[in-house]
Amino acid sequence: MNVRDAAERSGLPAKTVRYYDDIGLVVPDRRDNGYRDYDNRAVQKLAFLKRARQLGFPIEDCRQLLSLYEDKARASADVKALAEQHLAEIDKRLGELEHLRDTLKHLVHACRGDDRPDCPILADLSGGEPSR
């Protein structure tokens, strides 16, 4: 099947399907005319990658996951370790986002939002200097 059909069946945009081919994640066969020719197995891999990306796995982790998926002699411990590492990164980012939210919440509360030029939000963004 062509890129458009593979994209439709996998739920990915055609541009993403082409990108995954360009970086070697999913390499379809080529027709005599040079066009990509995806089979059902390639579409299954594309759907796998779509879900992995939805879970926030970076491309290189997706490459590893796909390799593990294709390796029938894999140890599930390898898959779990990769997922645990990703989960730890998500937890770290959540902590950072919570800190950002708390800081911004404090600044919003501190700003009077009136006609005066004083603004703690701008002061904080400028490194603590009073706004002008």
Q: Using alpha carbons, select from 123, 94, 99 the residue that is nearest to residue 111.
A: 123
| 132: confidence class by pLDDT, cuts 50, 70, 90 | very low
102-116: per-residue pLDDT in tens?
A: 999 999 999 998 998
| 128: confidence class by pLDDT, cuts 50, 70, 90 | low
Kindly report each contact of residues 92-96 with a partner whose C-beta sits within 8 Å and lies 24 or more positions away, as own/partner: none
For residue 44, the Cα-to-chain-centroid distance in whole angstroms is 19
| Least confidently predicted of 1-10, 30-39, 62-71, 120-129 | 120-129
| 98: confidence class by pLDDT, cuts 50, 70, 90 | very high
- Does the pTM surpass 0.95? The reply is no
| Mean pLDDT over each residue of the chain, to the nearest integer | 94
45 contact partners, CB below 8 Å, separation of at least 6:
25, 26, 66, 69
Domain 3-74 - what CATH class? mainly alpha
Using N-to-C axis directions, what is the helix angle for 3-10 and 40-54, rounded to 10°? 50
Per-domain boundaries in the chain: 3-74
